[in-house]
Amino acid sequence: MVDKALDGAITGLIAAGEIKGKSGELTLLHTLGKIPASRVIVAGLGKQAQFNVDLIRRVSAEACRFARGKAAKRVATIVHGGGVGGIEPDKAAQAITEGAILGLYRFRKHITKEPENGDVQELLIVERDEAKRALLEKGRDVGRVTAESVAFARDMINEPANFMTPSVMADMARKLAEECGLELTVLERGQMKELGMGGLLGVSQGSHQAPKFIILSYRGDVGSQKTVGLVGKGITFDSGGISLKPAEDMGDMKGDMAGGATVMAAIRAVGKLKPKINVTAVVPATENLPGGSALKPGDVITAMNGKTIEIISTDAEGRLILADALSYAVKNGLSPLVDVATLTGAVRVALGDVTVGLFGNNEEFSKKVMAAAGEAGERMWQMPMFEEYKEQYKSDVADVKNTGGRYGGAITAAQFVGEFVGDVPWVHLDIAGTSLLSKEKGHVVKGATGVTVRTIINLVMNLAAEQ
């Protein structure tokens, strides 16, 4: 016991009221050579009844960041769980690993000045019981792959738009394919025209950057024709087009490809974890800029499935490229489908920056996604999808129009996207409110969050286990 080795210093501080054990409380003790470690961080875990895996993840992140602030290079911790909260050792080790990697994440690629404190170079999980070590190693390995995949998504989203063009996204997909044993196809503008992808081609008209349609596939069950489809919005910069956005905070629109980064990160993890299941990720990638050839309000375009769309606002562009991507997914037999998109400001009005909006056409599949989110500790809320909302985006000159107005905007946007999935089980995740944070919260740091990457990884692993 550390407390005993320190002559009851921790017990004394608890008795004096300096350590209260509140969740998030961190106390640094200098050991003065009494144990090999020069310093000990006592982390408060809060009430035992509220102890869970997500708390382990959060405390691990906060403690590691605290240690980095004290210039620590090596950190060791015991496994939280077991008798406290009944958490399995592998799940505890996974949470510790995820928390440490995600909590220590920072994006410094374009900063030339060295950080005040270097990085923590090693995290050691201490366990005397050899019988548990195999479980701990399993949890550690899953946690590392999962967290590194989230960091991959964060890196993509944090990149300035001049460093994360559609072509760069396609290049990153090529590297992923080589690294993770994935199949890759990238469709160019000519192939998009042949397939009738009027949504993606229309949005890309105002940009000098060529659009890319990225398809990454993992084949983990060669005996099955079933393939799960992951679709991610890949707008690498969104000015709003002719319906120009206000200048304030427009720079954040470099992150409008967060959905695409999410599904690429998720299939990266799937390729490394190798479950027995087939998965394909589809990312339509383009910029949305104004220009002489840009799409205009009042224009009519035709999506890949033949449905015509009246353009009311060129700033409602994400749903147009998703229309083609989902049409492609359905045509190629992908099922069930999950699409991820920073789709609407309306979802942020409804749910703030805490909760992801979930929309679906199949209650059983929606529950599976919600369960996967619960395991990941990512908050989601299922929104209504009543038929009456569809009236709001009916068009007088085309099959549909691309906005349904101000009221219920997140719902009508989801309903619009749902027009292109038919009867295929489908869930739409609107991450516009949660993809970026202005301050750190546990393992979720300032900037790009990588939200829903861990949920989708869990979902795929759960679906594989069902087979």
- Note the helical H segments in 24-129: 53-69, 89-103
**Pick from 431, 258, 232, 415: which is nearest to 344 by CA?**
431
Residue 294 corresponds to which tokens in the numbers above?
């840009």
In whole angstroms, what is the distance from residue 96 CA to residue 318 CA? 36
DSSP string, 360-381: ES-HHHHHHHHHHHHHHT--EE
Collect all residues with Cβ–Cβ distance below 8 Å to 382 and sequence separation of at least 6. 358, 359, 360, 366, 370
In whole angstroms, what is the distance from residue 466 CA to residue 157 CA? 32
Residue 316 corresponds to which tokens in the numbers above?
């409602």
Q: Does 70 qualify as catalytic in the annotation?
A: no
Beta bridge partners of 400: 309, 394
Q: Which of 174, 245, 296, 446 is catalytic?
A: 245
Q: Which of 57, 212, 272, 319 is catalytic?
A: 319
DSSP string, 110-135: T--SPPSS----EEEEE---HHHHHH
Q: Are 231 and 263 in contact (CB under 8 A)?
A: yes
Q: Does 245 qualify as catalytic in the annotation?
A: yes
Structural element, H or E, at residue 460: helix 453-466
Catalytic sites, residue numbers: 245, 319
